Amino acid sequence: MIYPASHFMPGSEHEIKVISKRFHLAGAGTLDTYLANEGYQAFLKASKMTQDAIIDEVKKSALRGRGGAGFPAGMKWSFVPRANPKPKYIVCNGDESEPATCKDRLLMQFDPHAIFEGMMIAGLSVGAHQGYIYVRGEFRFLIEIVEKAIDEAYARGYLGKNIQGTGFDFDLAVHTGAGAYECGEESALLESLEGKRGIPRIRPPFPAVAGLYQCPTILNNVETFASVPPIIIKGGEWYLGLGTPKNGGTRLFNISGHVNKPGAYELPLGISLRKMVYEVAGGIPGGRKLKAVIPGGSSTPVMPASQLDTPMDFDSVAKAGSMLGSGGVVVMDETTDMVAVALRIMRFYAHESCGWCIPCREGTTWLRKTLQRFYDGGGTTRDIDLIDNLAQNMMGRTFCPLGDAAAMPTLGILKHFRHEFEAYLERKPELVALGQKA
Ligand SMILES: Cc1cc2nc3c(=O)[nH]c(=O)nc-3n(C[C@H](O)[C@H](O)[C@H](O)COP(=O)(O)O)c2cc1C
Ligand code: SF4
C-alpha cells in the first residue's frame, strides 16, 4: 500500500514548507503537478546565469549537506575543477541508510522532479552532463517512482539533449544499491556505482576532484539537491533568513520514539529541541518525563533532557556535544533502558561494519558482545570501563567515518548515563526499565 503524504507528515504550525510544499498536492510527483507549481523554473533561470553566479547563490544560502556531515553545499561545488577536461558527474545519495531517518524517501516519492532539477542546476554550475541517483535497493517501490519520473522528464524534454531550448544536455539514471549501510558513505557509494564492492576509498582526493571514474563529481544528499531550486528562484539571502547564521533554510526532520505525534516535519533550522518535542511532536505520551534525545540519526551522541533548549542547527548541536546528522530525532522517555539502547544501536553497527579495517570490524563486534553480556546480566564493574575503552579506541582510528559513527552512541550513553550501567550491576529496579528487551 502506498500512503499519501499526510500519513507521514501529521503537520504542525511550526512548519515552513519549502521542499515539502508540493507533497500534499493532487498528482504529487508527476511532471504536470511539478510544472504547475514552479517546476523547472529555477533550472530555466539558472541556465541564464553564469556558473559562478549559481555557486555564489548556493554559497549565500548557507545550505549545508543534509546527508549527515553538514558540509556547505556551495563550497563543495566550488571545489570542482571546472577547467579539468574530464567528464564531470552529479551523484545524488539516496541510500538513506541512517536508522531513524526516513525523509529522502518522501522527496523521492512526492517530489522527484525537485531532486532532478537540483541536480541539473549543479550540472550547469560545473559543466556536468550526466547524473546518477543512487537509491537503496530495499526502496523497490521508490525506484519505480523515480524511474517513471525520469521517463516523463525525457518524454517532455526536461532531460536529454538541449533541455527546453537552453542548449544544455543532461542525462539521468537510477542506480540501485543492495542495502549496505556503508554504501551511503560517499566513497563506498562511488565504488558501488562503478560496479565494485562497496568499500570506502582513501581521501583525499575528495569526490569533487576525483569521484566517479576518478572524474570530478558533485555528490550530495537527496534533500540537499531538492533544496537548490527554491534557492535559485527566491535567492540565497531569503533561504539563509529562514534558518540561523551559517545554517540556512529548513530541513525535513523525522521525529520518532516516545512522542504523541511522530512523523516528518519541515522545520526551520534553529528551532529549539524543546519546541520540537513538546509543540511540534505533541509531547510525551502519558505525561511521562523526557530522558534523552538522539538528535540526528543513530550515530549521533545522545543528548540528555538538560539540553532541551539547544537550537537544532548544525553548529548549536555540535556545541552541545552531538551532531545534527541526518535529522532523525529519536525521543526517549524516562522508562527507556539506556543499556538496551546502546546494545540495540551497536548490533546495527556490528552488522553493518564492512570489515575492511580492524578497529571497526573488531571494535563493533567486541562492543556488541560485551554489551550483550552486560545486558543479559553477566556484566562486571570492569566491563563499564572496558566498553568505554573499546569505543574510545575506535574513535579516529578507522578507515572511514563508520567507525566513529559506531563508537559515538556508546560513548554518549556512557557519558550521560553511566549510572544506568552501574544500576544494572546493582540491579536497582527503579533505574532499570523493565520489559524493554533490545
Ligand atoms: C557510514 C556512512 C553512511 C552514510 N549514509 C548516508 C546516506 O544514507 N545518505 C546520505 O546522503 N549521506 C550518507 N552519508 C554521508 C555521505 O558520506 C556524504 O557526506 C553525503 O552524502 C554528502 O552529501 P551532503 O553534503 O549533501 O550531505 C553516510 C556517511 C557514512 C560515514
Ligand atoms: S570503518 Fe568500518 S565500515 Fe569503514 S572501512 Fe573500516 S570496517 Fe569498513
pLDDT at 1 > cutoff 90: no
Confidence class for position 335, pLDDT limits 50, 70, 90:
very high
Ligand 2 center to 324 CA (angstroms):
22
Ligand 2 binding pocket includes 182 (Cβ within 6 Å): yes
Confidence class for position 238, pLDDT limits 50, 70, 90:
very high
Q: Three-state DSSP class for 189?
A: helix
Confidence class for position 428, pLDDT limits 50, 70, 90:
low
- Return the residue whose CA atom lies nearest to atom 6 of ligand 2: 357
pLDDT tens track for 40-58: 999 999 999 999 999 999 9
pLDDT tens track for 309-325: 999 999 999 999 999 99
Percentage of residues of the chain with pLDDT beyond 90? 94
Ligand 1 center to 65 CA (angstroms):
9
Supply the pLDDT for residue 4.
92
Ligand 1 center to 94 CA (angstroms):
9
Supply the pLDDT for residue 382.
93
Confidence class for position 2, pLDDT limits 50, 70, 90:
confident
Dig out the grid coordinates for 189 from the structure. 557509494
- Residue-wise burial string across 225-263, b where 16 or more C-beta atoms lie within 10 A, e elsewhere: bbbbbbbbebebebbbbbbbeebbbbbbbbbbbbbeebb
Give the whole-angstrom CA distance, residue 155 versus residue 140: 23
Ligand 2 center to 395 CA (angstroms):
12
Ligand 2 center to 99 CA (angstroms):
17
Give the whole-angstrom CA distance, residue 213 versus residue 191: 9
Give the whole-angstrom CA distance, residue 28 versus residue 3: 12
Q: How many CB atoms lie within 10 A of CB 85?
A: 6
Ligand 1 binding pocket includes 93 (Cβ within 6 Å): yes
Give the whole-angstrom CA distance, residue 276 versus residue 259: 10
Q: Which atom of ligand 2 is nearest to the CA of 355?
A: 7
Supply the pLDDT for residue 25.
97
Ligand 2 center to 266 CA (angstroms):
32
| Mean pLDDT, range 393-410, rounded to an integer | 96
The label of the residue with cell 539563509 reads 240
Out of 203, 397, 398, give the residue to mutate to test ligand 2, the one with the largest number of ligand atoms within 8 Å of its CB: 398
Cβ atoms of residues 197 and 177 within 8 Å? no
Ligand 2 binding pocket includes 216 (Cβ within 6 Å): no
pLDDT tens track for 258-298: 999 999 999 999 999 999 999 999 999 999 999 999 999 99
Ligand 2 binding pocket includes 68 (Cβ within 6 Å): no
**Cα angle 25, 226, 131; round to 5:** 120
Ligand 1 binding pocket includes 71 (Cβ within 6 Å): yes
Supply the pLDDT for residue 435.
43
Ligand 2 binding pocket includes 402 (Cβ within 6 Å): yes
Give the HSE-up count for residue 178: Cα atoms under 13 Å, Cβ half-sphere: 9
pTM: 0.96
Dig out the grid coordinates for 136 from the structure. 537503496
